[in-house]
Amino acid sequence: MTVPSFSDLGASKPVAEALSKRGIAAPFPIQEMVIPDALRGLDVLGRSRTGSGKTLAFAIPIVERLKADGPRPSALILVPTRELATQVAGELDDIARARGLRVAAAYGGISIHEQSKQVSKAHILVATPGRLEDLGNRRKVDLSNIRILILDEADRMLDMGFQPQVDKIVRRLPKDRQTMFFSATLDGQAGNLAKAYTRDARRHEVESTRQTVDEAGHRFVPVTAHEKVKALVELLRGEEGPTLVFVRTKRGADRLVRKLHAQGMDAVSMHGDMTQGARERALARFSSGKVKTLVATDVAARGIDVEHIGHVVNFDPPDSREGYVHRVGRTARAGRAGTGVTFVLPEQRADVSVIARQLELGTEFEEEGLELSAPRLVYASRRGRRSLLAGRRGRRF
């Protein structure tokens, strides 16, 4: 079957040419599904895994439907983190300029005065809920002309406790608008929110043969606490490309970077206790290749879209299958290859075994000499911050 072009889906010549200059010639499945309905002004519910190209699925319809002489802002994109805000704004920038539109990002950690100047000039506003609420309370942004609302990674916004702020923002928007809702899940609380915010929405889901990243390889490496850093150093020395390392805590990120420095390895950390400027500098050094190892916590790493990340290393295992998917999704993005490596301490084997079984990665788990635990009663807390196993409710990795 012939794959349609972006022009076939309804993209204008300037937008198609801007995409071509970036080496983007053919749409991915989620884009092929969503773009035609979105261009018609319909509400959309989208579910697809990390790295599937969903940003362009809503970015292209936004720039095609807005006019350069229209009110500012006319489109609002809500995202959970500042890193994702900068990523989405960057993804939009060239195709927006091709249509004479301006984009601004609003997020915490930098001067709200300077951001408000950019916001007032932008047709398209990408914002985190907290900063947007602050701008609204100070009367620095006018949301009365919003024609298009996007909620990106809505499930993560719920997990981070942003629903009250999102509800308040949505109540300030015109009711006669187009709403597109993108989430890793459209069930439960996220599904209820999607129904509340949209009208007669078209639902589009990209199914995977497994619940995790198919293009990625997966390794589960048994280690002891004493040899974890040594195992990481050996892995890093064997790789030339950028590697993203996940740890559980902010202090753990800084501590691991110091240990890597002591082994002669160049690495930087990124976590929520750092200033926005420091986080941006760390990400810039990693993105440019000046530093090949970035050690990050889960929240800080949301929105990272660095090309050709060869490995994602779970130095500390995630505490849920959703966490695993979000982490490993930083590699093998948009069809590229990559590998997720999870270090497993002896006392973590049972819990990580549950995640592997749920994601149909049992073969990969056993290939390293680990043994899958027998199926047990499991539960997943709504916020994914408690143990997966019944009877271990107080324990965390």
CATH number corresponding to 216-367: 3.40.50.300
Task: State how far the Cα of 314 lies from the Cα of 367, in Å rounded to an integer.
Answer: 17
pLDDT (0 to 100) of residue 387: 36
Write the DSSP string, 106-172.
E-TTS-HHHHHHHHHH-SEEEE-HHHHHHHHHTT----TT--EEEE-SHHHHHHTT-HHHHHHHHHT
pTM for the complete prediction?
Answer: 0.69
Q: How confident is the model at residue 390 (pLDDT cuts 50, 70, 90)?
A: very low
Mean pLDDT of 351-371: 90
d(CA 304, CA 244): 10
Q: How far apart are CA 139 and CA 58, in angstroms?
A: 27
pLDDT digits (tens, 9 = 90+) for 311-330: 999 999 998 887 888 888 77
The H-or-E segment that residue 75 falls in is: strand 75-78
pLDDT at 337: 67
> Which range among 111-115, 166-170, 253-257 shows the weakest confidence by mean pLDDT?
111-115
* CATH architecture of the domain formed by 6-205: 3-Layer(aba) Sandwich (3.40)
Over residues 220-231, the mean pLDDT reads 95
pLDDT digits (tens, 9 = 90+) for 85-96: 988 999 999 999
In Å, how far are 13, 48, 135, 246 from 389, measured between CA atoms?
A: 53, 27, 42, 22
pLDDT at 256 over 90: yes
The answer to whether 331 and 312 are in contact (CB under 8 A) is yes
- Closest by alpha carbon to 49, among 184, 199, 249, 221? 184
Indicate whether 396 pLDDT > 60: no
| Residue ranges of the chain that CATH labels 3.40.50.300 | 6-205, 216-367
Q: Tokens in use for 176?
A: 């006669």
